[in-house]
Amino acid sequence: MRNLQKEYDVIIAGCGISGLYTALKLNSNLNVLLLSKGDNGLSNSSLAQGGIAAVVDNPDDSTQLHFEDTLIAGGGVNDKRSVDVLVNEGPDDVKELVRLGVDFDRDASGGLMRTLEGGHSRNRIFHHRDNTGYEMTKTLLERVYELPNVEFSEYTAVYSAERLPNGGFRVNLIKNDEHIDVYCRFLVLATGGLGRVYKYSTSSSVCTGDGIRLASEMGAKIKDLHFIQFHPTAFAGNDNGERFLISEAVRGEGAKLLNCNGERFAHRYDERAELAPRDVVSRAIILEARRTGSDKFYLDITEKGEEFLYRRFPLISSKCLENGIDISKDWIPVFPCQHYLMGGIAVDLYSRTRVYGLYAVGECSNTGVHGKNRLASNSLLEALVFSRRAAQDINEKAQAAFELIYDEADYVQDYSGAPVPSELADEIREIMQRSYFVFPDAALARQGLKSINSILDRLRVGKFKKDCTYEEILSLATVAAMVLKEIL
């Protein structure tokens, strides 16, 4: 890989669906750097299973119904203008995916197949088996690799940036344990969510809230960070941090949710039963656990039979098999865990933060689309629609080219120090897990915040080496404090 250039028109931090789609939609005369903290394929986008929701060529459905379902799931506090943009512009972005080569499942007559997920009143989820995100990421990566104006840099992290006095940004990167300053006119944060601030999360290891901390330090507004989605059905068989998701689509295809006695119970908490929105089902599980005194829960999809299940859910069935569960014969042990962030960096309809030239797209952003609770399969759609809009805005603004003015000597810093104790990351995760899970509780949040604040003091006062471990722990502690403060 060649050395990084000193200046770029646009730097995009993050190589999931939102970063990739932004890169694809930027004008080809713009010189773009696309960063990923780990391998290019490591992201929550690659993990997405169920699919992407949109109303495409279906006379039995309407964007109005998709709009209403999104608002019902979101508790009515969604930003209606953003939802309107999402449901009306999203179908064209899904068609664009097909044009770009994404291989959605098709029926015998060649039409795109649609499935149902919790909270949707119609079948409108397009999917590639049960690994839609991997298929989308792989295809978009292939398309972006073809672009001569986009340079990739893997294993390259950004934790801090600042505005230059005459416009544009200095961006400090850590690559191969080395700090490098690069400069750009526009900076797009596509760094994903904060799942790894929890002990148990479905998120990939790269989602540690870095972009949210960076944006906040640059003066962007952070909004509703405690709007965290706890997915009701993560696989509950292992005890390591990253929990494997049993997609909503499994309930969409008819799976029953059972308590420790093998009884269905979800209907007692909400008439939509297993197909109620995620927050409702998660709360039902926690309340049922309190009632029965057991945290053993199961999904039963055995009635569907082996042939269907292994074809429709190849990833889920093989992951379960690895853990000794044959989903065509056995019940799948499940329990809620952290899954998604609805809040984040506040942006407008073009993904602009309140800092000129700084954009946020995908899960790190808060477009207001999801309200308090995301409707299943709306986040990939949001990532596409609002990344394209960010690119449109940058394309327009970039026509008025301006020179980046800076003196590198102004930015020389000392990054040396003692290694940070890496176990602080696990400490933060333990604190978050007990301070806020499914039901917000002010007393627990207050206790947790006290512990997090003392970790933050330690990080700030100590003379630690400013490497990726230090920066990541600082991100975790910073976003944890932001979440807990909102609950008080």
74 binds ligand FAD (CB under 6 A): no
Helices (H) and strands (E) in the chain, counts: 14, 16
**Shortest spacing between CB 213 and ligand FAD, in angstroms:** 9
70 binds ligand FAD (CB under 6 A): no
383 binds ligand FAD (CB under 6 A): yes
367 binds ligand FAD (CB under 6 A): no
Compute how many other C-beta atoms are within 10 angstroms of the C-beta atom of residue 292.
15
CA-wise closest residue to 213 among 234, 192, 236: 192
Contact predicate 327/298, CB 8 Å: no
Give the burial string for 232-256 (b: 16+ CB within 10 Å, else e). bbbbbbeeebbbbbbbbbbbbbebb
CA distances from 422 to 106, 418, 469, 471, 473 (A): 47, 12, 7, 11, 8
215 binds ligand FAD (CB under 6 A): no
Residue bearing tokens 């039979």: 305
229 binds ligand FAD (CB under 6 A): no
198 binds ligand FAD (CB under 6 A): no
**Shortest spacing between CB 344 and ligand FAD, in angstroms:** 9
CA dihedral (155, 352, 93, 370) positive or negative: positive
Total binding residues for ligand FAD by CB under 6 A? Answer: 42
Q: Over 236-282, what HEC string results?
A: CCCCCCECCECCHHHHHCCCEEECCCCCECHHHCCCCHHHCCHHHHH
**Shortest spacing between CB 49 and ligand FAD, in angstroms:** 5
Site string for ligand FAD, 50-69 (x = CB under 6 A): xxx-----------------
Site string for ligand FAD, 149-188 (x = CB under 6 A): --------xxx-----------------------------
CA-wise closest residue to 53 among 376, 365, 389, 387: 376
366 binds ligand FAD (CB under 6 A): no
71 vs 444 by CB, closer to ligand FAD: 71
Binder among 9, 19, 232, 359 for ligand FAD (CB under 6 A): 19
Binder among 377, 433, 435, 451 for ligand FAD (CB under 6 A): 377
Catalytic residue among 243, 278, 312, 429: 278
168 vs 362 by CB, closer to ligand FAD: 362
Is residue 243 among the annotated active site residues? no
Site string for ligand FAD, 31-50 (x = CB under 6 A): ----xxxx----xxx-xxxx
| Phi, psi of 198, deg, nearest 5 | -100, 155
The first and second tokens of residue 449, run together, are: 């915040």
Catalytic residues: 278
Interaction site with ligand FAD (CB under 6 A): 13-19, 35-38, 43-45, 47-52, 132-133, 157-159, 190-192, 202-203, 206-207, 210, 245, 340, 362-363, 377-380, 383
